[in-house]
Amino acid sequence: MQASNESSSPPALEIDALAFRYPGGFELHLPRLHLAKGEEMLLVGRSGCGKSTLLQLIAGLLDPSSGAIRVGGTAIHALHGAARDRFRGRSIGMVFQTFHLLHGFSARENVLIALLMGELPKRDADARAESLLRSLGIERLDAPAEELSVGQQQRVAIARALACRPTLVLADEPTASLDPENALNAVRVLRDACRDEGAALLVVSHDPSLESHFARRERLESLRAPESSSSAAAARAGGAA
């Protein structure tokens, strides 16, 4: 029997023999990390162990010293300039701790800006933005982002991350700005939205309350290759987030 496209498609994320070093001495060595299409994972670790650095490497915002990162089968660091930016915009959604919504722009406009990276005609882009926002419980589509509640702002950020139907969504400490009740609700919304859109989800956090909500949980310290004593000292000194 012929294999389905689903089973033959490349993983959402493949990291092999990754190495990175900041000029100050912090080093990150990650032998292997794979995330299947549509899979979700929580990556936990203490502050300063390199979680945010890893997300920046995956998104192509930093370049590794060596090794390979592939998103949906594409080696992101083989792309340069505008080509990498276009690939990131279409294939990787990002949810930040502080949301980074554009103030002065409406909820709808914040999502439409993300859709500029796609190829949808304007009418279809408008429909996509409205559908996503309403599915996430946002009814005031034309309200300025800064007039929405914190929880609503995060839902707009999730809609923006999913706008172009990305292969992979990266979430960096997505509950850090929320109280415990809203934090757990936000994680549920994020997971449900990624599942509905077929996107793989990688959440990094040092919040232990999230661990029970993810079937796959990893500690970055356990995945990393052993460091030299000097590199470990630099990391403890706060060399990375």
Q: What is the pLDDT of residue 232?
A: 46
Query: Which pLDDT score is estimated for 174?
Result: 86
Domain ranges within the chain, ordered by starting residue: 38-63+74-225
pLDDT, tens digit, 9 for 90 and up, residues 174-224? 888 777 777 888 888 999 999 999 999 999 998 888 888 899 999 998 888
By mean pLDDT, which of 47-51, 125-129, 145-149 is the weakest? 47-51
pLDDT at 236: 45
Q: Which two tokens stand for residue 150?
A: 């914190």
- In this prediction, residue 4 carries a pLDDT of 45
> Where is average pLDDT lowest: 124-128, 160-164, 173-177?
173-177
Residue type, 125: A
3-state helix/strand/coil string of the chain:
CCCCHHHHCCCCEEEEEEEEECCCCCEEEEEEEEECCCCEEEEECCCCCCHHHHHHHHCCCCCCCEEEEEECCEEHHHCCCHHHHHHHHHHEEEECCCCCCCCCCEHHHHHHHHHCCCCCCHHHHHHHHHHHHHHCCCCCCCCEHHHCCHHHHHHHHHHHHHCCCCCEEEEECCCCCCCHHHHHHHHHHHHHHHHHHCCEEEEEECCHHHHHHCCCEEEHHHHCCCCCHHHHHHHHCCCCC
Looking at the predicted structure, is the pLDDT value of residue 227 above 80?
A: no
Q: Is the pLDDT of residue 167 over 90?
A: yes
**CATH code of domain 38-63+74-225:** 3.40.50.300
Q: What is the bridge-based pairing of β-strands 92-95 and 168-172?
A: parallel
At 105-116, the pLDDT tens digits run 999 999 999 999
Q: What is the pLDDT of residue 3?
A: 43
Average pLDDT, the chain: 88
